[in-house]
Chains A and B, each alone.
Chain A
Amino acid sequence: MSEPLERQTRDGPILQASGLVKDYWMGPSRLRVLQGVSLSVRRGEFLCVLGPSGSGKSTLLHLLGLLDRPTEGRVVFEGQDAFDQPKRWRDRMRNEAIGFVFQFYYLMPDLTVLGNTLLPAMVRTSALSWPFVRRRYRGQALEVLKDLGLGERVGHLPKELSGGERQRAAIARALVHGPRLLFADEPTGNLDSATGAEIMKVLARLNHKGGLTVVMVTHDERIARQADRVLHLQDGRLLHGA
């Protein structure tokens, strides 16, 4: 921590978590989902957190992805303690530096594939400046969609796509703004094995060719084997050192 921030940011891990604890309260009783998880994610790494259902994988992902606040512990993203920063900073990081892919895609049902892909750009752009940047963002989105094999489906609504196409659309939405870190929460959990394998190929390609850092959680060991490093999570604890 005594290294200069700039060097730490450039050379150090992109994400560090230390002593993460997450409690949920159900009336008077406390449910401790994470019990002091510490890990570190290197730039360009494909990290997989493997664990059975209910082990706290998704909760860990939400904390690492700055979607939720830990009860205890720290998350350091690119050298900044995320929960010491104002909420606005975390919102900005999610919009500009982080991408999410969920098991159930979570596409906006009323927007087309292109509209969903443009959504992160729309979140950070005002209505006044949108007409001037729309063409650029649209070009980027179409490029990403074409790259993911959805070039012919840009005008379709999510309900008109297959499961694999929906997940690819979700990946396109997560990639269009050029994130430095991609979180994938059981990205193949809702797909058949062939489609799941196809999605994993996409993620692997993005990691190997694009140098994108990927953090994925899954309960499927076969899927996890495709990652550079696998961490086992059980009952809210990591079984092997981070």
Chain B
Amino acid sequence: MEQSWIATPWVVVALIGAGLVALGLVALVLTTSVYKHVICAKYLFSGWKAVVPLVSAMPAALGVFLLILVFAIMDGFAQDTREVTRGTLADIIVDAHFEGLPYYDDFAARIEKIDGVEVATPVIQTFAMIRVKPRFPAVRATVQPCLLIGIRPGEKTQVGRFQQYLERQQVPENEPWKAALFPADQLLTVPPAVVEARREAGLPDRPGTIVGKGLVSYPAKEIKPEKVDLRAVVILAWSVVGLLVLGVAAIGYRALRRYSRTTSAAGLAALYLLVVPAIGVVLLAAQGLALVTGDAEGPTLSWPTWTAAGVLAVGWAAAAIFVFLGRERRFFWLRPVGFMHLLGCAAALLAFWSSGLRYGPHEVAREQVVDNPVVPYGGEIVVSTIPISAKGAIETEVGGVPRVNARALAIVDYFKSGFWENDASHVYVDFSVAQGLAGMAGRPAAGPDEPAVPARASQIQVKIRDPSKSATIVERIRDAWRRFVAERPDAAGMVSVNTWETQQKTILGVVEMEKNITALMLGLMFLGFGVLIALISYVMAYIKSRDVGILKALGARDVGVGSLFLGYGFIVGLLGTAAGLVGSLLMLHYLDPIEVWVNQTLHTDVFPRTTYYFEHIPRHLSAAWCVGVSLSVLALSTLASLAGGLLAAIKQPVETLRNE
């Protein structure tokens, strides 16, 4: 996937363009006056003032971070919704609603003859009530609405990714050999062992059902064996204290130097910082020892933990040495290097922290809706429906009372797509069973006054070879339907032929709308960041107006002095963009452990499974979006720096060089 993306012509053109722009920038930098580079470097990396550009880079960093993170999650929502919706349905759906479509096998056979169609299978779909009696005697039975879906499992697995969403009989895409273990046409068959066990328990034989796991699970918080190591948090806290001490030491160093040039507060700070990683390493070693010797079944430390801890230790040490050496003027550039190392340490901390969450031995509480079924494998549920006649009327008993069809079913598997909407509503049964429940089974002629009623299906689901041709094939199926009705007038009825996207346009539309609104809000936020960067740049040029006057008095041109601030904005934007990019990628990579930690720490649920559709926070990272956002923010921060650049350019030197 990644390689094909990179190989597309526009990416190659974009890369060539970026290369040319970079070359142009290098040429510009080399041919411009050297004072701009020297002054800009001083503004960026001059001692403790290096904090100023780091703070200035924050809006750009925050902009990139939020734009990438939020859009990745929103895009993940959209992509996963589409993925699961399509996988659960089919490419094209011929929908005859509740009244049903007669002669469905004949029409399905005709559809399969259409060029481009791979498979077509009839499906029953009707609303029903499901009664669930939990295995715990004290708990009463629950009744809730559901969507009863009658399928021919062998065919259904061919039109979508149905079998991938089964818990017990799953055949993942990367493990096709499992298909031999779980033959598709027997997915709804009650295994002999279950039949035997039921008979021994004195229970009657029941047809099999695959029930959405959300329907037969407790909608309550359960303890999930999620591994969290609180000692990692201790180390984190220790490191944060180290950061704070560094800041205090820095301020103290400045203050002390005013009174005594021999005070070595920075040396003390460096000493402290050298001690911190040592303690971190000792703690890590203790953790490793406890895990290895204390709990034989527990998780062991893996390489990410050690790597992160190593980076942390080396980073702290290097930062300490650099900051210490940076006291000497000739090594002034080491201070910003030290600061950059501290940033690197923060990133390493995040990595170490998350790996600690993953590999530590502690268990945390997490809301778990679909992993704890109250009806076990082989257990019973009861499904009740009100059948609808071919004319669209509710079928009634003698006396006009609505007829209710009910049937007990034995659970042979759980349906778990990760899309909560489906997992908490779908009940799959064999096609013929569903036909009986929905009143679509048909009946033979009972005499001259009562002609035969043909069996019906709610839908015909169609798999096509090339999804990009779905619109054309939809038209062909519609034509086929018109011809079919012309041949068999008694099949006429309200039938719609749609692609899966049209069929599910409500949910997909909502997700797309949310995504668009988010994009709009992020766009406005993007402009807000631009204004903020412009303000910082303006204030920076205002503060440095004395320098502007000096430079112009020495013959620097207006444009040159203005471009100095533009270059400053570019570099600050570059730093911010890099920090935001790294931060967002790390955040996305460690989103699940971070969610667990936030839930546990704040006693909240940032992603409730009953509100959102997915079991995990979805995310879809687009390389093109990352590059686009990074370049846009970089361009924005450079453009916004025009505010400072213009101020510097139009500033008259005499305005700042007057005698005070």
Q: Does any Cβ of A come within 8 Å of B660's Cβ?
A: yes
Q: Give the contacting residue for A123; candidates B42, B556, B658, B660; CB below 8 A.
A: B556
Q: Give the contacting residue for B33; candidates A58, A88, A124; CB below 8 A.
A: A124
Binding-face segment, A8-16, A75-83, A90-98, A232-240: A90-98
**A106 contacts B546, CB within 8 Å?**
yes
Knowing A92-B555, A155-B329 touch, does A111 contact B33 (C-beta < 8 A)?
Answer: no
- Name the B residues within 8 Å of A65 (CB-CB): 553
> Please, how many angstroms separate the alpha-carbon atoms of A92 and B659 in the complex?
24
Q: Does any Cβ of A come within 8 Å of B657's Cβ?
A: yes
Min Cβ gap A102→B in Å is: 6
**What per-residue 1/0 map shows which CB atoms of A111-148 lie under 8 Å from chain B?**
11001000110111111101000000000000000000
Most B CB atoms within 10 A — which of A103, A107, A123? A123
- Name the A residues within 8 Å of B29 (CB-CB): 127
> Please, how many angstroms separate the alpha-carbon atoms of A62 and B30 in the complex?
32
- Name the B residues within 8 Å of A185 (CB-CB): 659
* Closest B residue, CB atoms, query A173: B554
Knowing A96-B555, A108-B550, A155-B329 touch, does A127 contact B657 (C-beta < 8 A)?
Answer: no
**What per-residue 1/0 map shows which CB atoms of A45-68 lie under 8 Å from chain B?**
000000000000011001001011
Q: Does any Cβ of A come within 8 Å of B624's Cβ?
A: no
Min Cβ gap B400→A in Å is: 93
> Please, how many angstroms separate the alpha-carbon atoms of A203 and B454 in the complex?
116
- Name the A residues within 8 Å of B555 (CB-CB): 91-96, 120, 123-124
**B654 contacts A110, CB within 8 Å?**
no
> Please, how many angstroms separate the alpha-carbon atoms of A126 and B558 in the complex?
16
* Closest A residue, CB atoms, query B557: A91
Q: Does any Cβ of A come within 8 Å of B37's Cβ?
A: yes
Q: Give the contacting residue for A125; candidates B34, B43, B652; CB below 8 A.
A: B34
Q: Give the contacting residue for A128; candidates B30, B551, B553, B659; CB below 8 A.
A: B30
Knowing A106-B549, A111-B42 touch, does A119 contact B34 (C-beta < 8 A)?
Answer: no
Interface residues in B, total, Cβ within 8 A: 36
Q: Tell me the chain B residues, 194-247 only, with Cβ under 8 Å from chain A.
A: none
Q: Does any Cβ of A come within 8 Å of B31's Cβ?
A: yes
- Name the A residues within 8 Å of B556 (CB-CB): 91, 95, 123
> Please, how many angstroms separate the alpha-carbon atoms of A189 and B555 in the complex?
25
Min Cβ gap A174→B in Å is: 9
**B554 contacts A95, CB within 8 Å?**
yes
**B43 contacts A128, CB within 8 Å?**
no
Min Cβ gap A58→B in Å is: 6
**B657 contacts A126, CB within 8 Å?**
no
> Please, how many angstroms separate the alpha-carbon atoms of A92 and B552 in the complex?
10
**B553 contacts A67, CB within 8 Å?**
yes
**B654 contacts A68, CB within 8 Å?**
yes
Q: Does any Cβ of A come within 8 Å of B32's Cβ?
A: yes
Binding site for B on A (CB under 8 A): 58-59, 62, 65, 67-68, 87-88, 91-96, 100, 102-104, 106-108, 110-112, 115, 119-120, 122-128, 130, 155, 157, 173, 185-186, 189
Per CB-CB distance, the 5 closest pairs between chain A and chain B, nearest first, are A95-B555, A122-B35, A110-B42, A94-B555, A130-B34
Binding site for A on B (CB under 8 A): 29-35, 37-39, 42-43, 46, 49, 329-330, 546-547, 549-558, 560, 652-654, 657-660
Question: Could you pull out 7 A-B pairs where Cβ atoms are within 8 angstroms?
Answer: A68-B654, A92-B555, A106-B549, A110-B42, A111-B42, A123-B556, A127-B37
